[in-house]
Chains A and B, each alone.
Chain A
C-alpha cells in the first residue's frame, strides 16, 4: 500500500499540510454541518410558536470553563512537544483527558437538573421541541467529546511510546485541532442557546 506521505516531495505543493490534516479539517466541516442543520432548524421551528421557554442551568457555565481550560492544556501539551519536553506533553494530555471527563460529568449534571428541576423532557407527552432540541444538541456534542477523548487517549499512548516530539507533531497537532474544534463548538452551542432559548 502506498503511504501517502511518501508522495509529497514529488507533488505540487497543496496547502502545505499533511494529507491527514486536510482529511481531519474536512471532517470537521461535515461534523459542523450537522449542528448547522439543527441550529437553523431550531430557529425555523421556534418562530412557528408553541415553544416552551425555560432557563438554562447555570452548570453550563462550569462546562464552559472546563472545556476552555482543556483547550489550554492541550495547547500547552502541543507547545511542550514542540520543545521536546516530553514529560509536560504527557501531563498536558492527562489534564486534558481529566477536564474532558469533567465536562461530560457537568453535562450529565445539567441534564439531570433540567429533567428534575424544570421538567424539561427529551420525549414523551410532556416534552416540547425546545427541550428535545437542547438534548439533541448537547447530547450529540457530548458524543463528539467522547470521540475526542479517544483521540487524545491515542495521542497520549503514542507519546508514552516516544512517538510524539518536535519532529513528530502530526498526531498531537491533529488532536489539538480536533479538541479546539470541540471547545469552539461548545461555545457556539452555548451562546446560541443563551440567545435563542
Chain B
C-alpha cells in the first residue's frame, strides 16, 4: 500500500498522499496518460484491472488443464485397476512401478486434483477473473480502489501457484492427505511420503494464496461500496456485482480462519506443539504429542471449507443470472429475491460447517442443530432455481454458447443440490459419508456447475475482454460434449456411492461386493477422460478467437449493463470521456411499450416516456 510502482506520471497513493477526498482535479476527464508504458508494466506488472483479470483467467486455465490431467490419471487407475500402464513411465517416472501407479501417488493425485480445482481454478480463476474484470466495468469505475494491491493480489497468487506446481515434482511427491488435509495424516511426515516436503509446500503455498484472496477481496468490496458511478445505487447493481460483492465478504471472513488452522498445523509439524495430535503410535513407536484434538482441525477447516464452496458457486450464480436474462430477453425474475437469497445463502454458509462432521462423534443434539440449519439453505437455493426457471419461461431465448452453459448450470445445480438435501440429513449422511455419493454430490453442484458458470462467463464477456467473438459452432460442440460428459461421469457415481464405495480408495479389487461395479467404473473413467479431452475444443476456440475471431461490435448481445458502453477494447480508465451515469436497473429487456427490446442503464426515464411505469414517469419529471 505504501509504494507506487506504476510507470505513469500520476502520483498514486501512499497511505495518505491523497490528502482529503475532496482534492480533485477538475480536469480529471482529460485523456489518460497514454504515453508509452514499458511492456513490463503494461502486460506483466499491470495495475489495470482488465489486464489483471486476463492474467487470472489464463493462469486459471493452465491450472484447470493440470487439474483435469491429474484426474484422468487416477480415473485410469480406477477404471482399469489390472492394466499395466507402462506407457506412463516416461511421464511419471518412478510413480509408475512395474506398470502400476504407486498407491501413494494415487493419493497425491486426488489431493492435488481437489486442491487445484477448488482453490486455484474455481476460486482464483473464477472470481479472480470476473470480479476483477466486471466490478469496475459494471459499477462504472475507472479501476479498482487500489490498483497496486490488486496487482499484488495476482502476484501472490502467482507465487502460490509456482510453489504448488513445484511440489508436483518433489522426490517424495506432493501433499497426499486430501484437499482437506486432515491431521494427523497431514501432520506426520513419517505417516506417508506426501506429508513431508509436499505438505510443507502445500501449506506455504496456501498461505500466499490466502494473502492473495484477502488483497483481492478487500479491493472488490471497497470498489463496490465506494466507486459506483452516479445513479448506481445498490438496488441498481447487476446481480453479477451483488454476487461478487458477497463472495468477497465471505472470503474476507472465512479465509483467515483457514489461515489460523494452517498455522497451527505448521506448528504441529515443525515446532513440536500438539494442537491436533494426541496418543499416536506410528511404526510401533509412541509419539510424545499429548492433548491435541484432530476434530478441532476439522472445525477450523470446515469453518472456511463450507463458505468456500459458496465462494466458488456464487460468482457463477451471478453471471448465470446475467446471461440468462440477457439471452432470454426478459428481466430477471425476482431481482430483489435474487439479492435476498444471495444474502441468505451468505449468512447461512457460516453456520452449517459441521454437516461435514456428522460422523466425528459429535453430540447428536448439536448434529440436529447443524442438520436443521443445513436444510434451511435449500430455501434460498430453491428461490434462485425457481427464479432462473421463471426467467426462462416464455422468454425469447437466444441460444448463444453462453446461454447454453447458463442453462446447463441451472440443470447441474438442481441435480447436485437435491443430493445435498439427502446428505444434509445426519441419519442418511452417516451411511453416505465418505462414499462416492458425496463425490457425486459436490462434483455436480459445485465442480460442474461452477465450471459451467465460468464457461458462460467466458463466452459472454470474451468480446469485452479481447474485442473479438468466440466461435459459436465450436461453442456448441464444447457445450454438448461437456454437458453429456459430466452427467455420464457423475450420475453413475451416485449408485456406486449408495452401494458403499468409499472415496479415496486406490482400488476395490480386494472387495468382492464391489466387483459388479467394475464395468460401471470403466464407463465413468471413459466418460471422464473424453470430457477432459473435449475441453481442448474450448482451449482451441479461446486462443484462436483471441487472434482470429470475428471482430466484436460494441454491444454484441444487446445488453443493458455499463460495460457495453465502453469502447470495444476499453483503454486505461475504461471510458475515454466522462463515466456515464445510471438511471435505471439493469434488466429492462422487452419492456412493454418500448420499441427496442432492451434499454441500457444509461438511458434516462425522460427519454422513454412510451415505456415508463407510472412511478418512473414521476422520476423523469
Q: Is the CB–CB distance between A17 and B226 below 8 Å?
A: yes
> Contact: B24 with A8, CB < 8 Å?
yes
Q: Which of A20, A34, A129 contacts B146 (CB 8 A)?
A: A20
Interface residues of B in 318-368 (CB under 8 A from A): none
- A14: chain B residues at CB < 8 Å are 225-228
Is A195's beta carbon under 8 Å from chain B?
no
Which residues does chain A contribute within 8 Å of B232, judged by CB atoms? 12
A7 to chain B, nearest CB (A): 6
Q: Which B1-58 residues have a C-beta within 8 angstroms of A?
A: 1-2, 4, 6, 8, 10-25, 28, 32, 47-48
B267: chain A residues at CB < 8 Å are: 122-123, 132, 136
> Given A12-B228, A23-B149 in contact, is the A2-B19 Cβ separation under 8 Å?
no
Q: Does B425 contact A (CB under 8 A)?
A: no
Contact call B254/A12, Cβ cutoff below 8 A: no
In the bound assembly, the distance between CA atoms of A111 and B253 in angstroms comes to 30
List B contacts of A132 (CB < 8 A).
Answer: 267, 273-275
Contact B146 A136 (CB under 8 A): no
Query: Is residue A5 within 8 Å, beta carbon to beta carbon, of the partner chain?
Result: yes
CB-contact partner of A122 in B21, B145, B273, under 8 A: B273
**Bound: A159/B221 CA distance, A:** 30
Let me know if B579 is at the binding interface, CB within 8 A: yes
How many residues from B make CB contacts under 8 Å with A?
81
Contact A34 B259 (CB under 8 A): yes
Residue of B nearest to A32 (CB): B256
CA distance in complex: A123, B276 (Å) = 12
Contacts of A136 in B (CB 8 A): 263-264, 267
Nearest-neighbour CB distance to chain A for B267, whole angstroms, equals 7
Q: Could you tell me if A5 and B23 are in contact, using CB atoms closer than 8 angstroms?
A: yes
Question: Cβ of B6 and Cβ of A1 under 8 Å apart?
Answer: yes
Q: A5-B23, A30-B252, A30-B253 are in contact. Are A155 and B227 (CB under 8 A)?
A: no
Q: How far is it, in angstroms, between the C-alpha of A41 and the C-alpha of B214 when the chains are bound?
A: 22
Q: Are B146 and A4 in contact (CB under 8 A)?
A: yes
Q: Is A116 an interface position by the 8 A CB rule?
A: no
The interface centre, meaning the residue of A9, A41, A155 with most chain B CB atoms within 10 A of its CB, is: A41
Distance to closest chain A CB from B232 (angstroms):
6
Taking the complex as formed, is B504 at the interface, i.e. its CB lies under 8 A from any CB of chain A? no
Name the residue on B nearest A170 (C-beta).
B16
B415 within 8 A of A: no
- Is there an interface contact between A33 and B221, defined as CB atoms closer than 8 Å? no
Across the interface, A2 reaches (CB within 8 A) one of B143, B221, B256, B273, namely B143
Q: How far is the CA of A26 from the CA of B288 in the complex (A)?
A: 41
CB <8 Å contact, B260 and A41:
yes
Supposing A19-B227, A50-B290 touch, asked if A5 and B18 sit within 8 A by C-beta, the answer is yes
Q: Is the CB of A27 within 8 A of B253?
A: no
- Structural contact, A11 and B256, CB atoms closer than 8 A: no
Question: When the two chains form their complex, are residues B271 and A123 in contact, meaning their CB atoms are under 8 A apart?
Answer: yes
- Specify which chain A residues have a CB less than 8 angstroms from the CB of B290 in the assembled complex: 50, 125, 128
Please, which residues of chain B bring their CB within 8 A of the CB of A8?
21-22, 24, 226
Inter-chain contact A30/B16, CB cutoff 8 Å: no
Measured CA separation A44–B261 after assembly (Å) = 14
Bound complex: CA of A125 vs CA of B25, how far in Å? Answer: 64
Question: Is A170 a contact of B145 with CB atoms below 8 Å?
Answer: no
B15 nearest in chain A by CB position? A171
Nearest-CB residue, chain A, relative to B48: A1
Decide yes or no whether B257 CB sits under 8 A from chain A.
yes
Judged by a CB distance under 8 angstroms, whether B296 is at the interface is yes
- Binding-face segment, A71-79, A82-90, A95-103, A161-169: A161-169
Q: Please report the C-alpha to C-alpha distance between residue A7 and residue B143 in the assembled complex, in whole angstroms.
A: 10
Asked if B525 lies at the interface with its beta carbon under 8 angstroms from chain A, I say: no
B315 is an interface residue with CB less than 8 A from chain A: no
Which residues 246-288 of B have a CB within 8 angstroms of A?
252-257, 259-261, 263-264, 267, 271-275, 278, 288
Instruction: Kindly list chain A residues whose C-beta atoms are within 8 Å of the C-beta of B295.
Output: 44
CB pair A164 B16 closer than 8 Å: yes
Closest approach, in angstroms, between the C-beta of B90 and any C-beta of chain A? 44
In the complex, whether A10 has a CB less than 8 A from a CB of chain B is yes
B229 within 8 A of A: yes
> A2-B32, A9-B24, A11-B228 are known contacts. Are A129 and B18 too (CB-CB below 8 A)?
no
- A34 near B257 with CB under 8 A, answer yes
Query: Is there a chain A Cβ closer than 8 Å to B443's Cβ?
Result: no
Question: B263 to chain A: which residues have CB within 8 Å?
Answer: 136, 140
Chain A residues lying within 8 Å of B291, measured Cβ to Cβ, are 50-52, 128-129
Nearest to A140 among chain B residues (CB) is B263
* Nearest CB of B to A189, in Å: 14
Q: Is the CB of B228 within 8 A of A23?
A: no
- Choose among B47, B225, B274 the residue that contacts A129 (Cβ–Cβ < 8 A): B274
CB contacts (< 8 Å) of B396 on chain A: these are: none
Q: Is the CB of A23 within 8 A of B146?
A: yes
Is A192 on the interface with B (CB-CB < 8 A)? Answer: no
Query: Is B573 an interface position by the 8 A CB rule?
Result: yes
CA separation between A35 and B25, bound complex, in Å? 42
Known contacts: A3-B11, A169-B20. The answer to whether A37 contacts B233 by CB under 8 A is no
Could you tell me which residues of chain A, from 132 to 156, have a CB within 8 Å of some CB in chain B? 132-133, 136, 140, 151, 154-155
> Given A12-B228, A14-B228, A26-B221: A155 and B15 within 8 A (CB)?
yes
Taken together as a complex, chains A and B put the C-alpha atoms of A36 and B274 apart, in Å, by: 20
Q: Which B residues are in CB contact (< 8 Å) with A54?
A: none
B229 x A10 contact (CB < 8 A): yes
B146→A19 contact, CB < 8 A: yes
B16 contacts across to A, CB distance below 8 A = 20, 155, 158, 163-164, 168-172, 174
Interface residues of A in 28-68 (CB under 8 A from B): 29-38, 40-41, 44-45, 48, 50-52
Residue on A with the closest CB to B578?
A10
| Contact assessment for A122 and B271 in the assembled complex, using a CB-CB cutoff below 8 Å | yes
Q: Which residues of A contact B18 (CB under 8 A)?
A: 3-5, 18, 20, 170
- Cα distance, A91 to B581, chains bound together (Å): 47
| Shortest distance from the beta carbon of A51 to any chain B beta carbon, whole Å | 7
Min Cβ gap B257→A in Å is 4
Q: Which of the residues B17, B217, B296, B573 comes within 8 Å of A41, measured between beta carbons?
A: B296
Find residues 141-156 in chain B having any chain A CB closer than 8 Å to their own CB. Answer: 141-147, 149
A5 to chain B, nearest CB (A): 4
CB-CB under 8 A for A41 and B578, given A23-B146, A23-B222: no
Using A20-B16, A34-B256 as known contacts, list a sample of 14 further A-B pairs with CB atoms less than 8 Å apart, ordered by residue number in A.
A4-B147, A11-B226, A17-B226, A30-B253, A30-B255, A34-B260, A36-B257, A37-B261, A37-B303, A44-B296, A128-B291, A129-B292, A168-B20, A175-B15
In the A-B complex, list the 9 residue pairs whose CB atoms are closest, starting with the nearest.
A171-B16, A123-B272, A37-B260, A5-B18, A14-B226, A168-B19, A33-B256, A125-B288, A37-B257
